[in-house]
Chain A
Amino acid sequence: MAGTGEGKKEEADYKRLHSFPLIRHTDMPEEMRVETMELCVTACEKFATNNESAAKMIKESMDKKFGSSWHVVIGEGFGFEVTHEVKNLLYMFFGGSLAVCVWKCS
């Protein structure tokens, strides 16, 4: 089955090419955005199989760095409507299949 083989190759290609973090929406200042993005990447790579742990790590680190009341959602598919403090939201994709939403609201 050449078709499926090709499909697999394509998928691998896709995974390889699309592993970079892709910010979909953010209103953070430049410095904060970069830091948060790196943190998300680190967490998702560290806990590649456990989204809950990754979210926990991101939340705790963010609380430490930027003050309390951070919320993190990581998943492959979800819908959300959140109220966040202005300049404190980051919504990004990572690794080709994960969506990470980080926001602050006390």
Chain B
Amino acid sequence: HSKSNELKEEITRVLNANNPHAPKNLVRYSFKEHFYKPVTAVDHLAVHFALDGNLLHKDSEEARRLSLFQLPTGMAAVKNPGILIWTTTPVEDGGDSEETGDEDKPRSASSKRRKREAKITNQFNFSERAGQTRNNPSRERSCQTEPPPRVTFSGSVNQWEIYDAYFQKMQNQDIIEKRKKSTVEKKDDFDVKKKMMMELAKVGEVAMIIERMVIQNTMDDIAQDFKYFEDASDEFRDQEGTLLPLWTFQYEKARHLTVTALCWNNKYQDLFAVGLGSYDFGKQEGGMLLFFSLKNSAFPEHIYSTASGILCLDIHPQLSYLVAVGFYDGCVAVYNLKEKQEDPVYKSTASTGKHTDPVWQVRWQNDDMDSNHMFCSVSSDGRVVTWTLVKNELMSSDIIRLSVKGAPSDGSDGSQLPVISHGTSLDFHKQIDYLFLVGTEEGKIYKCSKTYSSQFLETYDAHRMPVDTVKWNHFHPKIFISCSSDWNVKIWDHTVNTPMFTFDLNSPVGDVCWAPYSSTIFAAVTIDRKVHVFDLSINKFEGICHQIVVAKKTRLTHIEFNPIYPIIIVGDDRGTVTSLKLSPNLRKKPKSKKGQELPKGSEAEVLKMDRLLSLLREPELD
């Protein structure tokens, strides 16, 4: 039973901290003593299990810190003497029924405190949703700009180059200084020249007088004729008279142009304006406005070149320095002779309502209520327009739009556009301010009023060709005259719409004009180079003078009586103006019968015309 003895034998085992597996024969090389040395201190620690705890001492710094901000976040503090245990307790849905059971009783104080804490939501009670939006498509854009331009510049510099540069500069400066000195001298020269110019300008007036003196000398016979010659042979002729050619006026640069307008100056009766342009509408080449004086037939007093041909002009009756001009291109312009400038002082533009077709006649009007100057114009575009000279522009307003069928409809509906009647001539009544006549391309003459823009007062079926001129008689308020290329000159009483007199001149009539000194005398030009003068008080059927006044292959275009002297001027298509003196027979005053005192002046003229008219009417009555 040794076995049982062995069993009985007590074997004492001492538990100690020594690790039985720890090596006992560990050696390590000692560099100090240069041999292997057994290591005595062997680590006996063996770790079998390790777990990090989450217990903190209640009084520790960290616990206090935690308790300050972590209490309300679902962590329940379990009270234990000395140790604060942090556990996470899942909160049920109801929330109120939490923490029941045996724990509740001994820690009533702490549970009470917990109840006061904010209610904690169930952190697992949630649903999650996600969505994805479309990503915006991205786009790439790029561009390249030109780099700033660059150039290369190279050079080298050393002391002698610098020296040379300065040296040259100094020399240049010397030269410049010398030149300056010389220019000062030259300046003196220039001053002298300027002075001469100034003196020349002073001389200008004198030169003009001398020029006139020379002209007077060389043209002495003409001047004498103008003043004193009376055709003695008139006495032996019964009624006929003659025309004596005096000066011819021509300007070299205007030779290729046609005289399209003539107008005497009311203030200086020796001065007249000539408008030059072309009636050949396929060949328009600029125009010219010239002013000639009877005192100097060799050269114009004023010259204005225009881009477009002039078709008409009018000198202001009172302010004789203002000249209204109508152009082929539809513009109207006003020249001021006082201004020393080439361009007109006023010119209509497209924005100020210029005519769209040639302007055939311009006429000055009385000033408006603000004493602005005004004039009227008529054009092929069928408009009669008044122009007001305001400060520095022309203001336009349409008086009437000419249409073929009587009263012009405004055509705003566009369904029936009125057929435009092309105005070619215009004249305002001498006494009745608002009354005026418009001649048209269709041969009709309209009597219009400025106050009624919608209708014509009267329509005269006057001619079968364009009416070239209409003119009121200077004396008789009812009488006007018209002429046309259909060879006819007609005289009208504006209250009757048939002509009082009709004269056939056997050739297209260019222009007709009443004599300023008699109500019964008028003159006309035909393109067969003739001037016709009529005196109705002497011969009601034929003219008392038919005279060819210009050379062959020339057409006469216009005629105008001088307001006081017994002369007429006629213009032709070669840019020449011829002045003619009327012989005594062409300017006869009515003979005074014995014992019968004739009324003077204009009354006599009106009477004379009235007598004529009554003679005309009487046979009709019979």
Contact = CB atoms under 8 A, between A and B. Distances in A.
Interface of A: 14, 17-18, 22, 24-25, 27, 75-86, 89, 91, 93, 96-99, 101, 103, 105
Contacts of A85: 148-150
B154 A105 contact: no
28 contacts: A14-B163, A17-B166, A18-B166, A22-B165, A24-B155, A25-B153, A27-B151, A77-B158, A78-B156, A78-B157, A79-B156, A80-B156, A81-B154, A82-B153, A84-B151, A85-B150, A86-B149, A86-B151, A93-B162, A93-B165, A96-B163, A96-B166, A98-B162, A99-B157, A99-B162, A101-B155, A103-B153, A105-B150
Contacts of B165: 22, 24, 93
Contacts of B156: 77-80
B592 interface: no
B612 to A, nearest CB: 84
Given A76-B159, A80-B156, A86 B150 contact: yes
A78 B152 CA distance: 16
B169 interface: yes
Contact of B159 (A17, A97, A103): A97
A77 B155 CA distance: 11
A83 B150 contact: yes
A96 B149 contact: no
B150 A79 contact: no
A75 B170 CA distance: 22
A91 B155 CA distance: 9
Interface residues of B, number: 18
Interface in B140-179: 148-159, 162-163, 165-166, 169-170
A12 B166 CA distance: 14
A66 B444 CA distance: 78
10 A-B pairs with the lowest CB-CB distances in the bound complex, closest first: A79-B156, A81-B154, A77-B158, A99-B157, A18-B166, A86-B149, A83-B152, A93-B162, A85-B148, A83-B150
Contact of B152 (A82, A93, A97): A82
Contacts of A80: 154-156
B166 A82 contact: no
A91 B170 contact: no
Given A17-B170, A93-B166, A96-B162, A25 B148 contact: no
A79 B166 CA distance: 19
Interface in B111-150: 148-150
A101 B152 CA distance: 13
A75 B161 CA distance: 13
Contacts of A24: 155, 165
A93 B168 CA distance: 13
B553 to A, nearest CB: 66
A106 to B, nearest CB: 8
Given A22-B166, A83-B152, 4 more contacts: A76-B158, A85-B150, A86-B149, A105-B150
A97 B148 CA distance: 33
Most chain A CB inside 10 Å of its own CB: which residue of B154, B162, B163: B162
Given A93-B165, A105-B150, A25 B159 contact: no
